[in-house]
Amino acid sequence: MSSGFAFTVIVPYFQREPGVLRRCLQSVFDQTLLRHGDTRVQLIVVDDASPHPARVELAGVEPPANLQLSVIEQANGGPGAARNRGLDAAGPASGYLAFLDSDDQWESDHLERASQAMQAGASAYFADHFQLDQQLSAFSRNSGFSANKHTCFDAQTDLHWFAADMPLQVMTGNLIGTSTVCFDPARLPAPRFRTELRRAGEDYLFWIDLSRAGARWAFSSRSAARYGRGVNVYAGVRWGTPEFIERSRHELRWRRTSLGMVPAAGPAHDHVRGKIRHLREGVWLSLLSGLKAQFGEFARSLRDDPALLGSLFGALWRRGRTH
């Protein structure tokens, strides 16, 4: 690990409500690792043109003495671009790198446990977590995963070495929650998030890139984070909206990209191709749903004004001349 900071925590920030960021950062301030007076942590908040600015949110906030807090402001680029900016700003004394989304909160021992895993030889780490409004943890909800199949560090801990193929795991049943991930940039060349994938998949491809760079993954079967309610570019979209189409497009892109990143392993590739077919069907069904919702109003307009239909050809002709 680099000298200087024990960890650098990167928080991409875009929220419309006050209080969200403060709750997130308080969970960093409360880390047991910071109770060791000689341990220093760097915390970088990247304000991605948030409607509720980070500097307003953090006015009067007093971090622990051994935590260095900085805010970077940038034009809106999405969560991947914000995390990349944080990675670029981390510096050579960054120590281990950790991600935390601004509407999520850590358990107080998260960084300490991640540090234990790193010091035992892991170069990348993740943990169980609770997704938004879920009563069961992410690991418990994944029917194809059992922590007992992965070697435990020792009989007294819930830290495990991840024994399966991580790229295939990500492609077929991802376990990794972004707000639980830490990795060692001294042993892994840090990739970058795909900034074009603003609504889906930029994190999944990042985990595959880390794995291809030689990551030795460890994990904790105990929850390290709880996801909170805020601006969610994935789960916060509604069926039949342009945002849903955009999310589907980005999800299709990351899944198509993943097929070229790993060897052609039959079951995994078949699984991804099945997901792609389902997503493509979803795009059409969403589009047709939107048209159906509008058709009733169009029919009523046509009954009120039968000449409306005849104006279609004039509208198309004029539009063609102006484009």
Q: Are residues 251 and 183 in the same domain?
A: no
Residue 1 located in a structural domain? no
Question: What is the per-residue pLDDT across 193-205, written as a single tens digit (0 to 9) for each?
Answer: 999 998 889 999 9
Residue 82 located in a structural domain? yes
Last residue of a domain, one of 227, 249, 264: 227
| 12: DSSP letter | E
β pairing state of 217-227 and 104-106: antiparallel
Last residue of a domain, one of 203, 227, 251: 227
Last residue of a domain, one of 199, 227, 255: 227
d(CA 191, CA 188) in angstroms, rounded, equals 9
Please check the confidence at residue 237 and state whether its pLDDT lies above 80. no
Highest mean pLDDT among 180-184, 191-195, 312-316: 180-184
Question: Which has the minimum average pLDDT: 73-77, 102-106, 168-172, 212-216?
Answer: 168-172
The CATH number linked to 76 is 3.90.550.10
Q: Are residues 237 and 217 in the same domain?
A: no
Q: Are residues 149 and 181 in the same domain?
A: yes
Q: Are residues 175 and 48 in the same domain?
A: yes
Name the pTM for this structure: 0.85
Radius of gyration, alpha carbons of the chain: 23
Q: Name the token pair of 228.
A: 């909170």
Residue 150 located in a structural domain? yes
Residue 317 located in a structural domain? yes
Q: Are residues 236 and 216 in the same domain?
A: no
Residue 36 located in a structural domain? yes
Give residue 245's Cα distance to chain centre. 19
Residue 49 located in a structural domain? yes
Q: Are residues 180 and 57 in the same domain?
A: yes
Q: If phi over 0 gives left and psi between -120 and 50 gives alpha, with beta otherwise, what is residue 49?
A: left
Structural domain boundaries enclosing 239: 232-323
Q: How many domains does the chain have?
A: 2
Q: Name the token pair of 89.
A: 């700003």
Residue 183: per-residue pLDDT: 97
The closest alpha carbon to 209, from 244, 170, 155, belongs to 170
Q: Are residues 194 and 50 in the same domain?
A: yes
Distances (CA, A) of 170 to 144, 204, 226, 243, 256: 12, 7, 20, 24, 13
d(CA 80, CA 281) in angstroms, rounded, equals 27
Q: Are residues 239 and 132 in the same domain?
A: no
Residue 199: per-residue pLDDT: 80
Contact 246, 199 (CB under 8 A): yes
Q: Are residues 167 and 22 in the same domain?
A: yes
The closest alpha carbon to 61, from 34, 29, 38, belongs to 29
Distances (CA, A) of 121 to 167, 217, 219, 220, 239: 20, 9, 12, 14, 44
Residue 210: per-residue pLDDT: 96
Mean predicted lDDT score pLDDT of the chain: 87
Residue 2 located in a structural domain? no
Q: Are residues 44 and 65 in the same domain?
A: yes
| 195: DSSP letter | T
Per DSSP, helices labelled H in the chain are: 20-29, 54-57, 79-89, 110-119, 138-141, 166-173, 202-212, 242-259, 266-304, 311-322
Question: What is the per-residue pLDDT across 15-69, written as a single tens digit (0 to 9) for each?
Answer: 988 899 999 999 999 999 999 888 999 999 999 999 999 999 999 999 999 999 9
Question: What is the per-residue pLDDT across 108-120, written as a single tens digit (0 to 9) for each?
Answer: 999 999 999 999 9
Q: Are residues 213 and 240 in the same domain?
A: no
CA dihedral 229, 235, 237, 242 (to 10 degrees): 140
Contact 74, 48 (CB under 8 A): yes
Residue 34 located in a structural domain? yes
Residue 58: per-residue pLDDT: 94
Q: Are residues 26 and 141 in the same domain?
A: yes
